[in-house]
Structure 1
Amino acid sequence: MASIVRYEKFSPKIGEGTLISKGVYIIGKVEIGKNVSVWYNSVLRGDVGSIYIGDGSNVQDGTIIHVDRVGGDTKVGSMVTIGHGCILHACTICDRVLIGMGSIIMNNATIESNSIIAAGSLITEGKIVKSGEVWAGRPAKLLRKILQEEIENINISAANYIELSKQYMGNDG
């Protein structure tokens, strides 16, 4: 069973058609859009700041999303795929982004639209990944410009997760 937890006067808001899987904790100032999926054992903790997840995005298994006390909200745009076991901390992820498995995005970092962060990457504090870029490494560096086919695949990935989540709904997901 998922745990939707009030923090002080703040209760999470969850949009229509959203899947919250077993073992997920959603705490406090969290707003989740429509047709989002938050998969098994992820934690979204909006206590000292707020978390926003846009429509059609997916947060895969074991991901942690948190905030920072000093101006550190976390914002995730629409049609974003966040791979398994990621950490997002007080950062901004714009629309149509793929965050590869095991990546860490630190405070005040921004990942602009139509970008890819390769699996296992570390985006350091305050870093800006420009629209249309692919970054990789620890710490991550610009690898190359994104290909049109990869932009299309980001959209396909998000759409596939919307469909997959619908299959899990009503299945004791």
Structure 2
Amino acid sequence: MTQNEKIKTNRSPHATIISYNGIYPKLTDSVFLADGARIIGDVIIEQNCSIWFNAIVRGDVNSIYIGKNTNIQDNSVVHCTYQKFATHIANDVSVGHLATIHGCKIERGCLIGMGAIIMDGAIIGEESIVGAGAIVTQGVTIPPRSLVLGSPAKVMRQVSDKEYEGVIATTLRYLEYAKGYNYSLSKKDF
């Protein structure tokens, strides 16, 4: 490849992948990274995930796992807890803008609303919706298919089939959005 040749990639040249204490993040080739995304340390990100503008995934004091088809939207923070809680986000999860995910487990097919906070040791059961701005406090377990709202967050009711179709639609939309971004890089950008 000559210096002027262009290649297409799904990773912004302005995203950062950083080792911590000699541990490098592991990302599959299909992971989309937008401008300003930061991936640090002991992090595994599976196929077709997208990490959006200025989101931070910081595996410096424990490990972070992000499953297939999951999206971490703009300005969200995913972190873990020193010697206590790793963070595990399963497949097909949408984490809304400005959410904070900290030392917790989010099971398959959940939607975490914009500005929500999930604290250490919390478990969000599969196919649940955590509403915008909700705060799930330390150690709380949310049953599967729950609609969770408030601060502190409380289970309001079961998620309806129609609501869950919206969760699936969000995940599918973010898979498509990521495909729309093709960064053209020349050899000098590497």
Query: Shorter-normalised TM-score: what interval?
Result: over 0.9
Q: Is the 8 A contact 1:19 1:169 kept in 2?
A: no
Higher relative contact order (CA 8 A, sep 6+): 2
SS class of match (1:143): strand
Structure number with larger C-alpha Rg: 2
How many residues align? The count is 172
Say which of 47, 53, 64 aligns to 2:77: 64
What does residue 36 of structure 1 align with? 49
Q: What does 1:17-96 align with in structure 2 at a 5 Å threshold?
A: 17-96=30-109
Change (3 A) 1:61 1:171: farther
What does residue 123 of structure 2 align with? 110
1:137 Cα shift? 0.3
Q: Does 1:145 align with 2:158?
A: yes
Matched AA of 1:108: G
Unaligned runs of 5+ in 2: 1-13, 186-190
| CA distance in structure 2 between the partners assigned to 1:136 and 1:67 by the alignment | 23
1:171 Cα shift? 6.1
| CA distance in structure 1 between the partners assigned to 2:68 and 2:42 by the alignment | 17
Deviations 1:54-104 (A, max 9, x none): 000000000001010122100001110000000010000000000000000
| CA distance in structure 2 between the partners assigned to 1:169 and 1:112 by the alignment | 34
| CA distance in structure 2 between the partners assigned to 1:170 and 1:96 by the alignment | 29
Q: Is the 8 A contact 1:111 1:130 kept in 2?
A: yes
What does residue 142 of structure 2 align with? 129
The root-mean-square deviation of aligned C-alpha atoms, in Å, is 1.1
| CA distance in structure 2 between the partners assigned to 1:62 and 1:116 by the alignment | 19
| CA distance in structure 2 between the partners assigned to 1:56 and 1:49 by the alignment | 22
TM-score by length of 1: 0.96
| CA distance in structure 2 between the partners assigned to 1:170 and 1:143 by the alignment | 43
Q: Report sequence identity in percent.
A: 36
| CA distance in structure 2 between the partners assigned to 1:113 and 1:135 by the alignment | 12
TM-score by length of 2: 0.88
1:170 Cα shift? 3.1
Q: Is the 8 A contact 1:105 1:122 kept in 2?
A: yes
| CA distance in structure 2 between the partners assigned to 1:34 and 1:64 by the alignment | 20
| CA distance in structure 2 between the partners assigned to 1:14 and 1:159 by the alignment | 20
1:27 Cα shift? 0.4
Unaligned runs of 5+ in 1: none
Which aligned runs of 4 or more in structure 1 are off by greater than 3 angstroms? none
| CA distance in structure 2 between the partners assigned to 1:17 and 1:149 by the alignment | 30
Q: Is the 8 A contact 1:115 1:131 kept in 2?
A: yes
